Structure 1
Amino acid sequence: MTIRFGLAGLRHPHLEYLLSEIDARPDDVQIVALAENDPALREQFGRRFAVPTYPDHREMLARERLDAAGVVSVNGARGQVVADCLVAGVDVVADKPLCTTLADLDLVEAAWRRSGRRLSLLLDKRFCGPTLAVRDRLATGDLGDLVLAWASGPHRLRRETRPSWMFRHESYGGILNDLCIHDVDLLLWFTGARSGTVQGLAGNRAHPDLPEFQDHGQVLLRTDAGLLATIEAHWFSPEAAPYHGDYRMVLTGTEGTAELRWAHGELHIATHRHPPEIVPLPAPGSVAADFFDAVLTGRQATMRTSEILTATRVALLAQTTANSGAWQAWDATSA
């Protein structure tokens, strides 16, 4: 089988995560069409792939026979595009965030349940070496029960390279939903938490000419299993640094601690029984590889859609109530 793959939106460099995986497996995946409402991008990628192009994803879905689609549209439009693809009977891998409103999340979830198609999200921290290694150690009980977590997601802004839609709330959606979603997802995945409360804080400290833009924020997360977590993100990663962001997470358990240093490819662990060590890492994977393998083999992807929907709901609750001071309850026990 060769997957007939369509591109629905070409608005973020994360698109290259999909394209690099497709380039590595030409016998498995073939790009057969693309849809983009920006004429310049549509022409540019149309020339690159020599495939039919459409100004509207709905026309592409109606006219092309697709097995799967990659959705990398403007954040604010993504939820509707994802839902349309699912309803059309197409498996979907989308850029994060999945959507920017709770109403769109409900739309996507309803489309997924009705269609029975696969839905994955580009949360590639899931498949990084430090992440895979610490999850294995958590499964063995080395750290005991998780009590506290802290995560930081600094990003380099490079404002001159950013499209204007990223600085408008309606089209971007906010920093907590866009950046903190990575670590929200990981903590729910590590713990298996299905319910809890969340609160968001966000602000604009250095960009007064962009009043709708949030350049820093925090998610405060409590799970009903007892974890307390602080997840922060910002657009102040040093421009002269050799990395886009020095992403880190510190986990405190009843039996030990772990620090994930993604930018450096390291996992540090210390427990009551063993002194500090730098843990050997397994080979990394990727969301795109996991998704394409699932489509080809007919299995469920490692990244389960129910987990994606829960993490997105938690991040959106934090974003939509940012700075309100109110804790928002979330519960996925019936999902």
Structure 2
Amino acid sequence: MIGTWGHGGSVLSALKQIPDEVEVVGLAKVFPEDNPQDLKEILKISDNAPIFETPAGLLKETRPQVVVVSTRLDQIAPLAVAAAKSGCHLICEKPLALRHEDLNALSAAVKNASVQCAAILGSCAHPALRAARQAIQAGLIGDIVLCNARKSYKFGTDRPLWFGRRDYYGGTIPWIGVHALDFINSATALRFTAVAAMQGNMSHPEYPDCEDHCALILRLSNGGHATISLDFLRPNGAPSHGDDWLRVAGSHGVIEANLVRNTCSLITKNQPSVELPLPEPVFFFAELVRKLRDNPESLAETTLSAFHLTRVCLCARDSADRQQVIPIPSG
């Protein structure tokens, strides 16, 4: 693993579910103040896994099959490019890049090396979203017409100061919005073709470039539309850190999935609202690593989706900055 900040620890923790199948071969610092030893102790990683002062040292000495890149967001793309050029499959903190040119460079590196690149987006495996996806695939709501997604976070009291700098943080649309886009994409299998967005910061002036609220309208690839609301306004007294919700309205019915309550309801023309049965939980990140090891080609669509969702985020941020509708490239 390269870096010590972000959700990469969740990926390493998930490997405990397949302890006899994988080995953590090393951890690397990105910044001098990084402390991988703390991560090793928290996650009970073997003492045999060395700590490297630089990512280049880890890549050269260990030659891993899979690299987790999880650090300050402006460093994700260049470090992932280096790992891809070393022939490593990638699991990266999201967003994959903060600028279009960096995303293009990473995409080229991944293609040239014939490796896969997944973002750390595990919500697609949430039972409520999987139940929604199964119902939609079964045609229970007919044609998809409108999607509404919500992603709300607590801002907290210990957020890094670099969240207030656009060049390090990238903006709240790429950081939080990618989750809401993933909700819609994973449930409907639809992509996004155009976006209009607005954003602002009214409650955290000490973090000037960290927007506390964002609103997006998107055109779907089937001609339908979607709305997304994002905010850092969830009160500290709320029972959970996030408030995540998806509504999909179709020509014959409506599905609502609540990820916090772990529920999925369906109402159609022919029946009142019912709670759908939820599938059993899955070990998403452990299975992801297993596929990268045994059958990486099976994750080609996962790689395409990771780049598409990142591109949509960057286009949405452009829309908010320029105050205009932005078409989303299909590639």
* TM-score for both structures, normalised by structure 1: 0.91
From 138, 147, 167, give the equivalent of 1:149: 147
2:271 aligns with 274
Letter in 2 for 1:282: P
Show the counterpart of 2:57: 59
| Residue ranges of structure 2 left out of the alignment (5+ in a row) | none
Asked whether the 8 Å contact 2:149–2:228 carries over to 1, the reply is yes
Q: Deviations over 1:217-250 (max 9, x none)?
A: 1221112422211111111112111111121111
When structure 1 is superposed on structure 2, of 95-104 and 32-41 the one drifting more is 32-41
Task: Give CA deviations for 1:22-79 in whole Å, capped at 9, x if unaligned.
Answer: 1222211211111113334335347634332223212221222211111101111101
Contact 2:81 2:106 in 1 (8 A): yes
Residues 182-215 of structure 1: CA deviation (Å, up to 9, x unaligned): 1213323444434521122111010122222211
Which of 213, 217, 229 lines up with 2:214 in the alignment? 217
Q: CA deviation at 1:84?
A: 1.1
Contact 2:196/2:216, CA 8 A, preserved across alignment: yes
- Among 20, 26, 29, which residue is 2:19 paired with? 26
Q: What does 1:32-111 correspond to in 2, within 5 Å?
A: 32-42=25-35, 44-45=37-38, 48=41, 49=45, 50=47, 51-111=49-109
Does 2:193 align with 1:199? Answer: no
Compared CA separation, residues 127 and 43, structure 1 to 2 (3 A): closer
Distance in structure 2 (CA, Å) of the matches to 1:264 and 1:113: 39
The residue matched to 2:233 in structure 1 has which SS?
coil
C-alpha distance in structure 2 between counterparts of 1:314 and 1:90, whole Å: 25
1:155–1:235 Cα contact (<8 Å) kept = yes
- Residue deviations 1:249-272, cap 9 Å, x none? 111111000111100000011011
**Conserved 8 A contact 1:200-1:218:** yes
- Change beyond 3 A, Cα 1:224–1:47: closer
Instruction: Report the equivalent of 1:249.
Output: 246
Q: Which residue, out of 142, 164, 179, partners 1:182? A: 179
Q: Alignment partner for residue 139 of structure 1, among 137, 140, 158? A: 137
Q: Distance in 2 between matches of 1:43 and 1:296?
A: 24
Q: Which amino acid in structure 2 is aligned with residue 81 of structure 1?
A: L
Q: For 2:230, what is the secondary structure of its paired residue?
A: strand
Residue 9 (str. 1) matches residue 3 (str. 2): yes
Alpha carbons 1:202, 1:214 under 8 Å: kept: yes
CA contact 1:34–1:46 (8 Å) conserved in 2:
no
Specify the SS of the correspondent of 1:263: coil
- What is the correspondence of 1:297-312 to structure 2 with a 5 Å cutoff? 297-299=294-296, 300-301=298-299, 304-312=302-310
Asked if residue 226 in structure 1 is aligned to residue 216 in structure 2, the reply is no
Q: Take 2:282 and 2:78, find their aligned partners in 1: how far apart are those partners?
A: 28
Match of 1:247, SS?
Answer: strand
Give the equivalent residue in structure 1 for 2:323.
325
Deviations 1:148-175 (A, max 9, x none): 1111100011132x22222221111111
1:4 maps to what in 2?
Answer: none
Q: Indicate how the Cα distance of structure 1 residues 53 and 139 shifts in structure 2: closer, same or farther if over 3 A, else same.
A: same
Q: Which amino acid aligns with 1:277?
A: V
Counterpart of 2:34, as a letter, is L
- The alignment partner of 2:205 has SS state of coil
Structure 1 unaligned segments of length 5 or more: list them.
1-6
Contact 1:181–1:315 (CA under 8 A) maintained in structure 2? yes
Over aligned residues, Cα RMSD in angstroms? 1.8
**Contact 2:171 2:211 (8 Å CA) reproduced:** yes
Aligned residues: 325
Q: Say whether the 8 Å CA contact 1:290–1:302 is kept in structure 2.
A: no
